[in-house]
Amino acid sequence: MAEQTWFRQYVILERAALRAQLQYRVNFWTTLMGGVAYQGTQLLFLGVLLGKFGLIGGWGFPEVAFVFAMRLASHALYVVPFGSLRLLDEMVRDGEFDRVLLRPVNPFLQLVTRWFPLMSLGDALLGAGALIIFSWHAPIDWTGAKVVYLLLAVVGGGLVETGIQTFFCGLSFVATSTFSLRIFADTSITQFSGYPLTMFGRGVLYAFCTLVPMAFISFLPATVLLGRTADVPLPTWLTFLSPLAGAVVFVLGYSFFTKMMPRYTSPGS
């Protein structure tokens, strides 16, 4: 019952945030196309890069494009419902988080519905299109089980990115700013997680599985679907279970957020 109430509150607040953004129709369409263009340039760069070198880490264009599409779809599942997490630094600094604590609604829920990032709809549009197209062209013998695995992997990847950003939100309650850490994580995920991470070597891959667990966003589940688990220096069972990492990372991030929230100090106190 509590979960239904939480979800109902989320839908109501998110709908209100979206309605506020849609009042400016020209801004809506230009921002939407801006999101498509921004992510599209990365896909174009990928095509140029593979056209020049042929292979990346032993992976051809259909395989790398499939990994990229999974990353983009997972990113959309983070940024559409949770994109306003990036506002917490400013809210803490300006004391606006005081209002959040005074309302009888879950603070995290209020935070993620405070603002609707219109550009994220462009990410979602391109992510869904790329996933459909490149899944079709990937060297995968699709079955019902593999389709389900793909969907679980995309959801799990979105939860990994959400969990990382939620962790930084927890740091915002005690740090002056987490902007540099957010930029580092976001840039790293954007630039690297859409490629075969084994090309960086074993040590870096382990770092991408632990310190910044971006390997779970798309690469590890992609190796399962593409039949390339032998490329990864990890136990095969762990690679197969990689979609579950999303739930683990999100729970850890949210737990840290709730633990650090009582340490928030209003600038007006």
Contact 126, 46 (CB under 8 A): no
113 pLDDT more than 70: yes
259 pLDDT more than 60: yes
Q: pLDDT tens-digit profile of 126-164?
A: 788 889 988 998 999 999 999 999 999 999 999 999 999
**Domain chopping of the chain, boundaries:** 2-263
Number of CB atoms found within 10 A of residue 225's CB: 23
Max avg pLDDT among 28-37, 68-77, 80-89: 68-77
- How does residue 230 score in pLDDT terms, banded at 50, 70 and 90? very high
264 pLDDT more than 70: yes
Query: If you average pLDDT over every residue of the chain, what do you get?
Result: 83
- Residues 6 or more apart whose CB falls under 8 angstroms from that of 147 comprise none
8-15: Cβ within 8 A, 24+ apart: 9/105, 9/106, 9/109, 10/109, 10/112, 10/113, 13/105, 13/109, 13/110, 13/113, 14/81, 14/112, 14/113, 14/116
- How does residue 211 score in pLDDT terms, banded at 50, 70 and 90? confident
50: left (phi over 0), alpha (psi -120 to 50) or beta: alpha
Instruction: Name which residue leads in pLDDT, 204 or 35.
Output: 204
Over residues 67-84, the mean pLDDT reads: 89
From CA 252, how far away is CA 247, in angstroms rounded? Answer: 9
Please tell me whether the overall predicted TM-score, pTM, comes out greater than 0.95 for this model.
no
pLDDT of residue 263: 92
pLDDT of residue 157: 96
Q: How many residues does the chain have?
A: 269
pLDDT of residue 11: 62
pLDDT of residue 39: 60
